[in-house]
Amino acid sequence: MIQQVENPIIEIHDLSVSYEKKPVLWDVDLTLPAGKLIGIIGPNGAGKSTLLKAVMGLLPLSSGYINILDKPLKEVRDKISYVPQRESVDWDFPTSVYDVVMMGRYGQLGLLKRPKKSDKEIVMDSLSKVGMEGFKDRQISQLSGGQQQRVFLARALAQQADIYFMDEPFAGVDAATEKAIVELLRQMSKEKKTVIVVHHDLQSVARYFDWIILLNMRLVASGPIEEAFTPELLQETYGGKLTLLTEISDLIQKNRFPNRE
């Protein structure tokens, strides 16, 4: 089940990516709608993070092409923000929370320009949205995992992008931080931002996302949550690895998708 979208914000055609000649993604073809909260799910090694990095231009493509806002990536890079996995960052680097979030303004500033009053206001507003304004002078190494993730999100918000790619933003955070992040993502979606999230917790998929991509090296499904998040497609995606399949199936078959408030 792969639903094609008219006037897509992201268009991926025949995308293949290999590491050392070993295919990681194979022949991915999909279109994505604007202004949605989109989840990417699949087993470990399915290529979820690879898909994000390929779309962002961080990995070479073996084949295929990607258009964003109907243009090549290099023409719209300033409209895109990326939140990598927290584990991939050197959190011992000596810098403050405020300076990390100001990095989100560098694309607008250029390297040699000094931040204006408006940039400083955007930084403080971004910190406020994630509840971290009181930590602005703290060294990032002194923060908890959940606080570090909030700072990363604030940096992304400071970019004022149209499209946000987030690689497992809920990994290793406490329940309060996860709830705060979800509320923030929903608000961004209401503001017509497109948010694409690599996610691993199947039990929360139906509550969090409008649209879902099911991936296992190949694209299994892409579509609205009600149509693409089915027991049959989950089984095809995860095979025997899906220990939660019965529980998820019960939820879907009883039509008890929790309401997104």
User: Which residue would you say has higher pLDDT here, 220 or 108?
Assistant: 220
Kindly state the percentage of the chain with pLDDT values over 70: 89
Predicted pLDDT of residue 261: 39
Domains and CATH numbers, the chain: 10-253 (3.40.50.300)
Q: Is residue 247 scored above 60 in pLDDT? A: no
Of residues 8, 4, 10, the one with CA closest to residue 73 = 10
Is the backbone of residue 220 left (phi > 0), alpha (psi -120 to 50) or beta?
alpha
pLDDT tier at 243 (50, 70, 90 boundaries)?
low
Mean pLDDT rounded to a whole number for the chain: 85
List, for residues 15-50, the tens digit of each pLDDT value.
Answer: 999 988 788 999 999 999 999 999 999 998 899 999
Give the residue-averaged pLDDT of 75-87.
85
Q: Helix or strand or coil: residue 2?
A: strand
List, for residues 44-62, the tens digit of each pLDDT value.
Answer: 889 999 999 999 888 889 9
List, for residues 163-184, the tens digit of each pLDDT value.
Answer: 999 999 888 788 888 888 888 8
Strands (E), the chain: 10-19, 22-32, 37-41, 63-68, 80-83, 163-167, 194-198, 211-216, 218-224
> Cα–Cα–Cα angle for 27, 237, 228, nearest 5°?
90
> Which residue reads 């090694």 in tokens?
45
pLDDT tier at 260 (50, 70, 90 boundaries)?
very low
Give the residue-averaged pLDDT of 141-158.
88
Give the residue-averaged pLDDT of 92-101.
86
Of residues 222, 230, 234, the one with CA closest to residue 10 = 222
> What tokens does 180 get?
């705060």
Q: Is residue 259 scored above 50 in pLDDT? A: no
Predicted pLDDT of residue 110: 64
Predicted pLDDT of residue 111: 62
Q: Is residue 20 packed enough to be buried (19+ CB in 10 Å), middle (13-18) or exposed (0-12)? A: exposed
pLDDT tier at 11 (50, 70, 90 boundaries)?
very high
Predicted pLDDT of residue 126: 92
